[in-house]
Structure 1
Amino acid sequence: MKPFLDEHFLLQSSIAEELYHQYAKDLPIIDYHNHLPPDQVSGAHQFENITQAWLYGDHYKWRAMRANGVNEHYITGEASDIEKFQKWADTVPYTMRNPLYHWTHLELQRYFDVQETLHSKNAESIFHSCNEKLRDPAYNVHGLLNKLNVEVICTTDDPIDSLEFHQSYAQHPSCFKMFPAFRPDKAMSPEHPENFNQYVDRLGEVSNLEIQNFQEFLDTLKARHDYFAANGCCLSDHGLSHLYAEDYTDEEIARIFQKVRGGSHLMHDEINKFKSALLVHFAAWDYEKGWVQQFHVGAFRNTNTWALKNLGPDTGFDSIGDYKQGEAMVRFFGNMAAREQLGKTIIYNLNPSDNELFAAMAGNFNDGDIIGKMQFGSGWWYNDQKEGMTRQINALSNIGLLSRFVGMLTDSRSFLSFPRHEYFRRLLCNIFAEDIKNGELPHDMPWIGKMIQDICYYNAKSYFPFQG
């Protein structure tokens, strides 16, 4: 029987151990998509306690606590931080076989050298021991990222964001670099006229313009895109149910914009055309600047209307969707390729039943000019766990080139989530090792070790055009 979470965790053979410890373990981390708050990075934020660092904003843990019968008072409510931590500790033993059990204990080990498994009886002592370390200046957010050898983080930022914290950090960087990513989801949401119009007004205020028509709206977004580029941005990101690729005319989009600006609700086909037009413009701007465009698709958002009303969005009530994905991807990517404006692209799939579709779709639009131009992105959200990552790796291996994959990301709001890269690397090494053991791959450790290093670090370092 193997010990829990020892140095050979997830490594099922001596070959896997060699691959991980000699080739993967010590590589830096490029975390090219996360939701870390730039103000906390810029200000070298110091958390008062582990609840603030670990439980605030973590909807993964919130969902588990709700499933375990924990009242919302102890999740997003007014309970004290130690009470919230205690309720999480009460829940942890019940998360066995959920990835949270592994992540929780990896994070306790890697950041705080806590070797115990967390449960109700030791919660208070672990709470205080972690807090004592968090009070050390070496445990501010810079220290936490440096502890895990993080080289690059890319945050997720709205076009109206000032990027003041990116600018401030760039003047006095720590051992890692921070870049923004352009996420214009709110600009693509005309289905809610009141919210959309408030957003357009705010966009105009930020740009010192009064936006009266679609061309002015587009010009303002383009100016913000340029502003992001001037501040080191080289990625965009879109959180969508699916891609949009409807036929439209410029006159139609102009009329649709005026209709929604007047406060009217749009018809379904008008919404789809508006989103389709914006995606084309965003993709063209990304291509012109040599950016990487990312598409996170497939989520059912805000499924619980009571929770949305009382707790707000992004509180743990989103789910895997069953949208039809293929046809729109064919039309959108085909359209951009025909325009000769299809740049580097990563598509992330939330529904694992579509993995092979996404892996095949990415391969349809490689053109031989850029290595790994079209990427089937890493296991995302509900798929960033052992089976989900394995399924994504196998689908990509069977249909594309795993060797050119740009690897893992955290997609997290937590500064303590970076052991997920270690989790991925261990799993990847074990998959290769099993193939070697079975005679399905040659026992060529230098070559396979190099391939693993590429997937874990060097492919991303080459793929993303980070500057500075």
Structure 2
Amino acid sequence: MKKFLDENFLLTNKTSETLYHEFAKAMPVIDYHNHLPPDQIANDTNFDNISQAWLYGDHYKWRAMRTNGIDESYCTGNRSDEEKFQKWAETVPYTLRNPLYHWTHLELQRYFGIGEVLNGKSAPDIYKRSSELLREKDFSCRNLLKKMNVKVVCTTDDPLDSLEHHKAYAAEGNELKMLPTFRPDKFILIDNPDFLSYLERLGAIVGFGIDSFETIKKALAQRARDFAALGCRLSDHGLEQIFAIDFTEEGADKAVKKVRAGQSLSTAEALEYKSAILHALGVMYAELGWTQQFHLGALRNNNRRAMRQLGPDTGWDSIGDFPQAAALSRFLGKLDEYNQLAKTVIYNLNPADNEMIATMIGNFNDGSVAGKVQFGSGWWFLDQKDGMTRQINALSNMGLLSRFIGMLTDSRSFLSFPRHEYFRRILCNILGEDIENGELPDDLAWTGEVVQNICYNNASRFFNF
């Protein structure tokens, strides 16, 4: 029987062990999509305790705690940080076979050297030891990233963000790069009740009134240039589906004018605007030389009572079963037709779409860039052993795994970076098993190079880091 979480965790044979320990383990990390707070990096914040670093904003843990019968006051409520940690610790034993069980203990080991299993009994001592370390300078936000050999973090930022923290951080000339990512979804979803207020706020930033489709495009282009000046290389969209019906700019402008006049839009009118602005953004990304990312398929805010009381991103989302293929084909095809398709990463949340995405990307890989259109890593509910394995297998079967740009955290926590290790171990085990089974040649030099490329080099080249 293997020891829990030993040095060969998730590695089932000698070849897998060699691939991980000799090729993958030491590779640096490019975390090209996350939700880390830029102010905490810019200010090099220290957390007062592990609850602040681990539980604040972590809807993965909140969902597990609620399912375990823990009252909301211990999740998002006003209980003390130590009380919240205690309730999380009491939940951990019940998360066995959930990725939270692995992540929790990987993070305790890698950051704090704590090898004990977390439960209600061990919680007080683990809380004390980890919190004491987090207050030390060596455990500031920047140093937490450096401990995990992180070279680049790309935060997720709204066009309404001031970018003041990115500016301050960039002015210091740090070796660890923090770059913004452009996420303009607020200006796509015209049927959102807050759409007009977003336009007003954007107008105040860019210095002119926004009263038409053309001025929306102009304002977003101005903000994109501001982002690019701070090293931005990526955009990101979190949408249920791609919007890609036939449109005219006149139709899109008419929709903007109607909303500004206080009139309701039909579903068709809203969809025409969404399709028009998403296409215009795609053209802009290509002109800027950026990579566009699409996170597709989440059914968000399912619990209306919780949404009303707690707001979005608090743990009430699930996998959606939206049709994706036809619209995705039209969207990418319209951009590609006129050579306006930027490098693209597509993440899906429904595993039933894996093979569809894996084949869709092949339609638009035109030889101009290795892996120009990518099938993104297992995302959100698929960010676990089975989800990663299925994504790797689908991409391997229908594309080129060797050109894959690898893993990211998609996290709000500075303690989440062992997810890169988790992914690397799974990748090495899959390849090691193939070699041991005679399905790949016993060429560790070449397979090890492929592993290193997926872990770091492919992303570094793809994003021009």
* Map of 1:82 onto structure 2: 82
> What do the CA deviations read for 1:408-467 (whole angstroms, capped 9, x no partner)?
00000000000000000000000001001111000000000000000011000000034x
* Map of 1:203 onto structure 2: 202
* Map of 1:412 onto structure 2: 411
* Map of 1:71 onto structure 2: 71
Q: Structure 2: how far apart are the matches of 1:344 and 1:115?
A: 42
Is 1:53 the counterpart of 2:70 in the alignment? no
Pairwise mapping of residues 16-415 of structure 1 onto structure 2 (< 5 A)? 16-193=16-193, 195-415=194-414
Once the two structures are TM-superposed, the CA of residue 173 in structure 1 deviates from its matched residue by: 4.3
* Structure 1 residues 120 and 173: alpha-carbon distance in aligned structure 2, compared to 1, 3 A threshold: farther
* Structure 1 residues 94 and 173: alpha-carbon distance in aligned structure 2, compared to 1, 3 A threshold: farther
- More divergent stretch after superposition (166-175 vs 342-351): 166-175
Q: Structure 1: how far apart are the matches of 2:234 and 2:299?
A: 24
2:183–2:236 contact (8 Å) kept in structure 1: yes
Structure-1-length-normalised TM-score: 0.98
Matched letter for residue 419 of structure 2: R
1:74–1:87 contact (8 Å) kept in structure 2: yes
SS in 2 for 1:233: coil
Matched letter for residue 63 of structure 1: R
Once the two structures are TM-superposed, the CA of residue 211 in structure 1 deviates from its matched residue by: 1.5
Once the two structures are TM-superposed, the CA of residue 162 in structure 1 deviates from its matched residue by: 1.4
1:236–1:291 contact (8 Å) kept in structure 2: yes
Q: Structure 2: how far apart are the matches of 1:265 and 1:174?
A: 49
SS in 2 for 1:392: helix
Q: Structure 2: how far apart are the matches of 1:273 and 1:238?
A: 18
Q: Structure 2: how far apart are the matches of 1:410 and 1:126?
A: 24
> What do the CA deviations read for 1:202-257 (whole angstroms, capped 9, x no partner)?
00111122212221122111111111111111100000001011111111111100
* Structure 1 residues 173 and 3: alpha-carbon distance in aligned structure 2, compared to 1, 3 A threshold: farther
> What do the CA deviations read for 1:170-191 (whole angstroms, capped 9, x no partner)?
1224441010000001111111
* Map of 1:430 onto structure 2: 429
SS in 2 for 1:454: helix
Q: Structure 2: how far apart are the matches of 1:180 and 1:446?
A: 36
* Structure 1 residues 402 and 174: alpha-carbon distance in aligned structure 2, compared to 1, 3 A threshold: same
Q: Structure 1: how far apart are the matches of 2:11 and 2:77?
A: 40
2:241–2:324 contact (8 Å) kept in structure 1: yes
Q: Structure 1: how far apart are the matches of 2:64 and 2:174?
A: 35
Matched letter for residue 303 of structure 2: N
Once the two structures are TM-superposed, the CA of residue 263 in structure 1 deviates from its matched residue by: 2.4
Q: Structure 2: how far apart are the matches of 1:279 and 1:168?
A: 31
Matched letter for residue 316 of structure 2: F
Matched letter for residue 323 of structure 1: F
SS in 1 for 2:405: coil
Once the two structures are TM-superposed, the CA of residue 42 in structure 1 deviates from its matched residue by: 0.2
Q: Structure 1: how far apart are the matches of 2:264 and 2:86?
A: 46
Q: Structure 2: how far apart are the matches of 1:301 and 1:176?
A: 33
SS in 1 for 2:182: coil
Q: Structure 1: how far apart are the matches of 2:42 and 2:185?
A: 24
SS in 2 for 1:237: strand
- More divergent stretch after superposition (408-417 vs 170-179): 170-179
SS in 1 for 2:119: coil
> What do the CA deviations read for 1:290-318 (whole angstroms, capped 9, x no partner)?
10000000000111100110000000001
1:28–1:150 contact (8 Å) kept in structure 2: yes
Q: CA RMSD in A?
A: 0.8
SS in 1 for 2:115: coil
1:151–1:176 contact (8 Å) kept in structure 2: yes
Q: Structure 2: how far apart are the matches of 1:187 and 1:12?
A: 48
Is 1:462 the counterpart of 2:461 in the alignment? yes
Matched letter for residue 229 of structure 2: A
- More divergent stretch after superposition (175-184 vs 263-272): 263-272
Matched letter for residue 253 of structure 1: A
Once the two structures are TM-superposed, the CA of residue 264 in structure 1 deviates from its matched residue by: 2.4
Q: Structure 1: how far apart are the matches of 2:158 and 2:451?
A: 34
* Structure 1 residues 393 and 39: alpha-carbon distance in aligned structure 2, compared to 1, 3 A threshold: same
> What do the CA deviations read for 1:269-326 (whole angstroms, capped 9, x no partner)?
1111111111111111110111000000000011110011000000000110000000
1:53–1:415 contact (8 Å) kept in structure 2: yes
SS in 1 for 2:40: helix
Q: Structure 1: how far apart are the matches of 2:372 and 2:391?
A: 18
Matched letter for residue 375 of structure 1: Q
1:290–1:465 contact (8 Å) kept in structure 2: no
Q: Structure 2: how far apart are the matches of 1:130 and 1:84?
A: 15
Q: Structure 1: how far apart are the matches of 2:439 and 2:28?
A: 29
Q: Structure 2: how far apart are the matches of 1:173 and 1:72?
A: 42
* Structure 2 unaligned spans of 5+: none
Matched letter for residue 420 of structure 1: R
Matched letter for residue 102 of structure 1: H
